[in-house]
Amino acid sequence: DAMVIQNPRYQVTQFGKPVTLSCSQTLNHNVMYWYQQKSSQAPKLLFHYYDKDFNNEADTPDNFQSRRPNTSFCFLDIRSPGLGDAAMYLCATSRFSDNEQFFGPGTRLTVL
Amino acid sequence: KQEVTQIPAALSVPEGENLVLNCSFTDSAIYNLQWFRQDPGKGLTSLLLIQSSQREQTSGRLNASLDKSSGRSTLYIAASQPGDSATYLCAVNVAGNQFYFGTGTSLTVIP
């Protein structure tokens, strides 16, 4: 089945230690998104790629960066995680034609 | 900036009841609106997508309506089941690939 895959599902890191979260898709969608969702809050868009064009939300901290080496893969890099970065990180994809979003299962990040 | 509100924040109903979840947004200039379901600790599952030119969409026991002019959407769930228990989120799509989510309605269906 076509899907959005996120690895790992659970990630524990230490304060200040860089971490990379991975997302891959078999849907061949040209848009990929990264969201941050904290407990009982709405998902917050961090950035998205339309093909290789990177779009950063104005309030996304510089501590967060992303890479999309090809259509299938997208990575979220957190350079120096703080306690406030503990959250669920959600990857999503969409077709440009209708913008229906499909989400992966998420990566739960814990910062010690 | 678009603001999306979902009321109520939590809802508890007995099994078999029909129910309506509400989503309101402040800017009617949207491309589409999407309803999702989220189970605890999981990602979001797409339920229904309504394009701005559409008034409603149906899938099984679910029916979503959209009234752009009043900035409202409703998700109607018929004959609720315990397996419907989850958080339901709506998201509006504005210019390009901008999405704004509500904080969701947590639904509990009591057997």
Residue B96, pLDDT > 80, answer no
**What totals of helices (H) and strands (E) does chain A contain, helices first?**
0, 11
* Of the candidates A101, A106, A111, the residue with the CA atom closest to the CA atom of residue A76: A106
Residue A55 is predicted with a pLDDT of: 86
Residue A68 is predicted with a pLDDT of: 95
Phi, psi of A37 (to 5 degrees): -130, 115
Q: Are the beta carbons of B93 and B49 closer than 8 angstroms?
A: no
Residue A1 is predicted with a pLDDT of: 67
Residue of B nearest to A48 (CA): B97
The three state secondary structure string of B55-84 is CEEEECCEEEEEECCCCEEEEEECCCCHHH
Sign of the Cα torsion A46, A91, B90, A54 reads positive
Residues of A in contact with B7 (CB under 8 A): none
Long-range contacts of B8-13 (CB under 8 A, 24+ apart): B8/B105, B9/B103, B9/B104, B9/B105, B9/B106, B10/B105, B10/B106, B10/B107, B10/B108, B11/B105, B11/B106, B11/B107, B11/B108, B12/B107, B12/B108, B12/B109, B12/B110, B13/B80, B13/B107, B13/B108, B13/B109, B13/B110
A100 at the B interface (CB within 8 A)?
yes
Residue A57 is predicted with a pLDDT of: 84
Higher pLDDT, B76 or A56: B76
* Of the candidates B25, B70, B32, the residue with the CA atom closest to the CA atom of residue B51: B32
Phi, psi of B84 (to 5 degrees): -80, -10
Q: Average pLDDT in the B79-107 region?
A: 93
* Closest chain B C-alpha to A41 CA, distance in angstroms: 5
Residue B88 is predicted with a pLDDT of: 98
B49 at the A interface (CB within 8 A)?
yes
Low-confidence ranges of chain A (pLDDT < 50): none
Q: Would you call A90 and B34 a contact, using CB atoms and an 8 Å cutoff?
A: no
Q: Are the beta carbons of A36 and A66 closer than 8 angstroms?
A: no
pLDDT tens digits, one per residue of B38-71:
999 889 999 999 999 999 999 999 999 999 999 9
Interfacial A residues in 24-83 facing B (CB < 8 Å): 31, 33, 40-45, 48, 50, 55
Residue A2 is predicted with a pLDDT of: 66
CA A80 to chain centre: 16
Residue A40 is predicted with a pLDDT of: 86
Residue A75 is predicted with a pLDDT of: 96
A43 three-state secondary structure: coil
How far apart are the C-alpha atoms of A44 and B91, rounded to whole Å?
A: 11
Q: Would you call B97 and A99 a contact, using CB atoms and an 8 Å cutoff?
A: yes
Percent of chain B's residues with pLDDT above 70: 99
Residue of B nearest to A108 (CA): B41
Mean pLDDT of chain B: 95
Residue of A nearest to B94 (CA): A99
Q: Would you call A99 and B32 a contact, using CB atoms and an 8 Å cutoff?
A: yes
Residues of A in contact with B4 (CB under 8 A): 42
pLDDT tens digits, one per residue of A15-27:
999 999 999 999 9
